């Protein structure tokens, strides 16, 4: 063992501080440096190429960079990174990941054919929307399966006891697992990008141009949705020891959120009087379905993004409380 | 190093432990003994900051377990019962993961893992997937992971459960080797194990500490000693004489092969052997054998945990 130093605060000898305090810095520097680059790029594009496709996509690209920077800063926390790494390794080691990803790719491909009527005429923008739409729905089923083992397995095997008695906080645990889940889901969606590339290549000069603005905000919407699904799935996993039970909890919760988002506005619109439209607009304001639709229209609606982000953070907070519940149960 | 004062933990109305207090000095090995369900694991979970106590305090390395939970966790290596590991990882991957969680830098990580693989005789198994390891090997990996980062305090919950006798001996040997250098609490309900390794004992019964102290103190205070006498002659007469010797509490007469066999209980802290020899001779007996034995820990344990109260 390395030489022991006596701490002034401590009555007896403890081991020397071994944590490298610099661990966080490179990631933050990277995030800040990247942000400066992105801001500069924004300025230059707006100034010199105000009409280019890239400029149209700027708001969405900025939002994507925002997510990436947040991710960098969070993974900069060494313990979060370690936990996330193990989770990702476990996920990509299991055949389940590839089976799910394959099935997912196949099923989401179906709307491409329906919306395009084969590949004769490609309305790429409409197809992209259809894909994001279908992904949003299909992920409802897939996300809980991806997230079910995150905390439930640790609790069932008892390794939770080791995890929470190691020097990590409950937030570290939840964040590490959440980021891993989001990365897994994003990795499963990524192959769909191939279609967009395909559309771009197949476009004839007579066809309408690809609306990159719409495609980029749709991507932002999809990532928001995936993060939200991951957080709900994680909470479900924190609530049960049994993986199947936690998958079911997640599935039912997500399905209810989805259905309420569709059904409530419709229901309220049937109401007569002044109350009906008011309630309808309220229900639509918090309906994730409607919020996603707004993003699919190619409008980078900050309210929508805020709704997704805040509900995700709320779910993570509940997950932390659920992990903590060992203390007061 | 570890001071526990009046810890109480209730699950609803059920008190898992009540007013548990004990102290462990630096370098001591404390055997935490008690029947199953007596509160050993609960106490250890509180000490390792897994869950808080309902009342009472404890300090580890001078840090309060509630206020400086993070510092306490940095200074404790905890191995839960049954050593839950991740079965899909390889041994070296797991050790590296735990080392990084504990905040060890790259070079120190490598050095410590190499050292511990050697020390816990994991040897060639360091690239094997944990799910394929035997129970004993898994225990060793768990112990190695617990030792990562050199925590000055080790808390081991039933480290020998489910092992075969050879593996038990190995693990106990390892723990014994760590004593002196580290402060160790380990729980068990198997007495010979504790006797082999621990220098101090805390016996817990129905959530309360029934007895604490060094091994010597406990056997002496609670047990006294036993002397066995084999003699030729009139057993009854010898017994009467023996019972008069000062310090003798009780003598039970038996016989074997026509010889008188006396089981003599001697009060704690007295040496009655000389008096016994004289008494036997005085009663006209021919002393053939006189052997002393400490009351075994098992006697003490059974008496405290079963009969008392």
* pLDDT tens profile A10-44: 334 444 445 544 567 888 888 899 999 998 988 88
Question: Distance between terminal CA atoms of chain B?
Answer: 32
Q: Is the dihedral of CA B290, B296, B300, B305 positive or negative?
A: negative
Please check the confidence at residue A91 and state whether its pLDDT lies above 70: yes
Tell me: pLDDT of A4 over 50: no
Residue B193, pLDDT > 60, answer yes
Is residue A7 predicted with pLDDT exceeding 50? no
- Structure tokens given for B277: 């020899």
Residue A311 is assigned to a structural domain of this protein: yes
| pLDDT exceeds 70 at position A95 | yes
Q: Which of residues 277-306 of B touch A (CB under 8 A)?
A: none
CA end-to-end span of chain A: 38
Residues 6+ apart with CB under 8 A from B138: B83, B85, B130
Q: Domain for residue A206, yes or no?
A: yes
Six token digits for residue B182: 């580290």
Structure tokens at A236: 């479900």
Q: What is the DSSP annotation of A26-44? A: HHHHHHHHHHHHHHHHHHH
Percentage of chain A modeled with pLDDT above 70: 88
Does residue A11 belong to any structural domain of this protein? no
The DSSP H or E segment spanning A263 is helix A243-270
> pLDDT: is A253 or A26 the higher one?
A253
Contact B50 A158 (CB under 8 A): no
Whether B161 and B82 have beta carbons less than 8 Å apart is answered as yes
Specify the CATH superfamily of domain B2-220: P-loop containing nucleotide triphosphate hydrolases (3.40.50.300)
Domain-embedded: residue A308: yes
CA distance B290 to chain A (A): 48
CA distance A150 to A160: 11
Which fold is adopted by the domain B224-307?
Alpha-Beta Plaits (3.30.70)
- Give the C-alpha separation, A20 to A27, whole Å: 14
- Please indicate, yes or no, if residue A40 is contained in any of the structural domains: no
Of B234, B282, B286, B235, the C-alpha closest to B263 is: B235
Q: Check pLDDT > 50 for residue A105.
A: yes
CA distance A11 to chain B (A): 5
pLDDT score at B78 = 93
Residue A25 lies in a domain: no
Residues 6+ apart with CB under 8 A from B213: B200, B201, B221
Residue A324: closest CA among B69, B158, B16: B69
**B76 has a chain A CB within 8 A of its CB:** yes
Specify the pLDDT at position B295. 61
For residue A121, what pLDDT is reported?
54
Q: What is the Cα–Cα distance from B4 to B20, expressed in whole angstroms?
A: 7
Q: How far apart are alpha carbons A214 and A297 in whole angstroms?
A: 6
The total of other beta-carbon atoms located within 10 Å of residue A304's CB is 22
A49: CB partners within 8 A, 6+ apart: A55
pLDDT confidence band for A115 (50 / 70 / 90): low
Instruction: For residue A228, give the nearest of A272, A280, A271, A292 by alpha carbon.
Output: A292
ipTM over 0.90: no
Which tens digit of pLDDT belongs to each residue from B244-275? 887 787 788 887 777 888 888 777 666 777 88
pLDDT at B309: 40
Across the interface, which of A10, A12, A18 has its CB nearest the CB of B105?
A18
**Interchain CB contacts (distance < 8 Å): A and B:** 104
pLDDT at res. B36: 81
Mutate which: B23, B25, B50, B83, vs A, most A CBs within 10 A: B50
pLDDT in tens, B46-87: 999 888 888 898 999 889 988 888 889 989 999 998 889 999
Least confident piece of the model among A246-255, A311-320, B20-29, B221-230: B221-230
Cα A200 to Cα A49, A113, A123, A186, A216, distances in angstroms: 21, 16, 10, 22, 14
CATH 3.40.50.300 in chain B is located at: 2-220
Chain B residues touching A165 at Cβ < 8 A: 48-50, 73, 76, 78, 80
HSE (CB half, 13 Å, CA atoms) of B301?
Answer: 19
Inter-chain touch B45–A83, beta carbons under 8 Å: no
Provide the 3-class DSSP secondary structure of residue A324.
helix
Q: Do A14 and B61 touch (CB under 8 A)?
A: yes
Containing domain of residue A289, as a range?
A: 54-327
Nearest residue of A to residue B181, measured between CA atoms: A1
Element at B290 (helix H, strand E): strand B286-294
The domain total for chain A is: 1
Q: Do B97 and A86 touch (CB under 8 A)?
A: yes
pLDDT exceeds cutoff 90 at A299: no
Alpha-carbon distance of A145 to A301, in angstroms, equals 30
A135: confidence class by pLDDT, cuts 50, 70, 90: confident
Whether A256 is covered by a domain: the verdict is yes
Collapsing DSSP states into helix, strand and coil, what is residue B84? coil
The band of A147, judged by pLDDT with boundaries at 50, 70 and 90, is very high
In a domain, A19, yes or no: no
Least-confidence region, from A272-286, B154-168, B227-241: A272-286
Q: Which helix or strand (DSSP H or E) is residue B21 part of?
A: strand B14-24
**What average pLDDT is seen over chain B?**
84
- Mean pLDDT value across residues B13-22: 88
- Cα–Cα separations (whole angstroms), residue B38 to A57, B12, B187: 65, 17, 11
**Contact at CB, A161 and B49, closer than 8 angstroms:** no
Q: Does B94 contact A at CB distance below 8 Å?
A: no
Q: Per-residue confidence at A6, pLDDT binned at 50, 70, 90?
A: very low
For chain B, residues classed under CATH 3.30.70.3190 are 224-307
Residues A81 and A294: their CA atoms lie apart, in Å, by 34
The predicted model gives A290-306 an average pLDDT of 83
How far off is chain A from B291, nearest CA to CA, in Å?
45
Give contacts of B81 with chain A, Cβ < 8 Å: 158
Give the residue among B66, B94, B4 at the shortest CA–CA distance from B40. B4
Chain A residues inside the 8 Å CB shell of B60:
none
Rounded Cα gap, residues B109 and B195, in angstroms: 34
Q: Residue B114: how many CB atoms within 10 A of its CB?
A: 13
Q: Which residue has the higher pLDDT, A213 or B73?
A: B73
């Amino acid at each position: 063992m390395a030489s022991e130093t006596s701490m002034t605060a401590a009555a007896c000898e403890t081991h020397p501080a071994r944590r490298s305090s610099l661990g966080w810095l490179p990631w933050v520097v990277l995030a800040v440096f990247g942000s400066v680059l992105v801001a500069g790029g924004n300025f230059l594009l707006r100034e010199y190429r105000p009409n280019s496709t890239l400029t149209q996509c700027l708001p969405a690209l900025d939002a994507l960079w925002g997510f990436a920077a947040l991710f960098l800063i969070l993974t900069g926390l060494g313990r979060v990174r370690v936990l996330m790494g193990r989770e990702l390794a476990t996920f990509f080691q299991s055949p389940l990941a590839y089976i799910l990803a394959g099935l997912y790719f196949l099923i989401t491909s179906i709307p491409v054919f329906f919306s395009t009527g084969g590949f004769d005429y490609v309305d790429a923008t409409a197809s992209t929307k259809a894909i994001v739409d279908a992904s949003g729905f299909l992920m409802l089923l897939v996300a809980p399966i991806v997230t079910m083992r995150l905390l439930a397995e640790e609790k069932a095997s008892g390794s939770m006891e080791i995890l929470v008695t190691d020097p990590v906080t409950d937030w570290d645990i939840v964040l590490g697992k959440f980021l891993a889940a989001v990365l897994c889901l994003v990795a499963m969606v990524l192959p769909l990008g191939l279609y967009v590339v395909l559309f771009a290549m197949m476009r004839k000069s007579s066809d309408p141009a690809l609306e990159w603005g719409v495609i980029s905000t749709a991507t932002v919407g999809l990532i928001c949705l995936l993060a939200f699904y991951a957080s709900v799935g994680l909470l479900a996993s924190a609530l049960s020891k049994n993986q199947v039970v936690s998958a079911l909890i997640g599935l039912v919760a997500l399905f209810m959120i989805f259905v309420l988002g569709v059904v409530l506005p419709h229901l309220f619109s049937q109401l007569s009087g002044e109350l009906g439209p008011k309630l309808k607009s309220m229900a639509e304001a918090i309906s994730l379905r409607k919020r996603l639709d707004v993003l699919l229209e190619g409008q980078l609606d900050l309210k929508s993004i805020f709704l997704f982000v805040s509900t995700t953070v709320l779910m993570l907070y509940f997950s932390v409380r659920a992990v903590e519940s060992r203390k007061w149960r | 190093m570890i001071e526990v004062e009046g810890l109480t933990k209730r699950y609803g109305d059920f008190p898992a432990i009540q007013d548990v207090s004990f102290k462990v000095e630096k370098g001591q090995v404390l055997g935490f003994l008690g029947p199953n369900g007596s509160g050993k694991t609960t106490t250890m979970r509180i000490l390792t900051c897994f869950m808080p106590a309902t009342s009472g305090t404890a300090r580890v390395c001078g840090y309060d377990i509630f206020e400086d939970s993070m510092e306490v966790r940095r200074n404790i290596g905890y191995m839960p019962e049954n050593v839950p590991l991740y079965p899909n990882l390889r041994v070296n991957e797991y050790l590296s993961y735990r080392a990084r969680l504990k905040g060890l830098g790259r070079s120190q990580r490598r050095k410590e893992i190499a050292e511990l693989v050697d020390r816990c005789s994991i040897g060639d198994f360091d690239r094997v997937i944990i799910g394929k390891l035997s129970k004993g090997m898994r225990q060793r990996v768990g112990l190695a992971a617990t030792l990562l980062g050199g925590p000055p305090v080790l808390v081991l919950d039933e480290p020998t459960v489910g092992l075969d006798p050879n593996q038990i001996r190995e693990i106990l040997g390892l723990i014994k080797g760590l004593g002196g250098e580290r402060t160790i609490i380990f729980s068990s309900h198997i007495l010979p194990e504790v006797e082999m390794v621990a220098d101090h004992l805390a016996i817990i019964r129905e959530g309360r500490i029934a007895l604490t102290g060094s091994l010597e103190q406990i056997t002496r205070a609670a047990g006294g000693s036993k002397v066995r006498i084999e003699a030729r002659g009139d057993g009854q007469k010898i017994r009467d004489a023996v019972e008069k010797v000062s310090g003798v509490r009780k003598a039970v007469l038996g016989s074997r092969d026509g010889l008188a066999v006396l089981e003599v209980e001697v009060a704690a802290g007295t040496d009655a052997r000389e008096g016994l020899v004289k008494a036997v001779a005085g009663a006209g007996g021919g002393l053939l054998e006189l052997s002393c034995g400490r009351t075994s820990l098992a006697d003490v344990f059974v008496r405290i945990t079963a009969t008392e109260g």
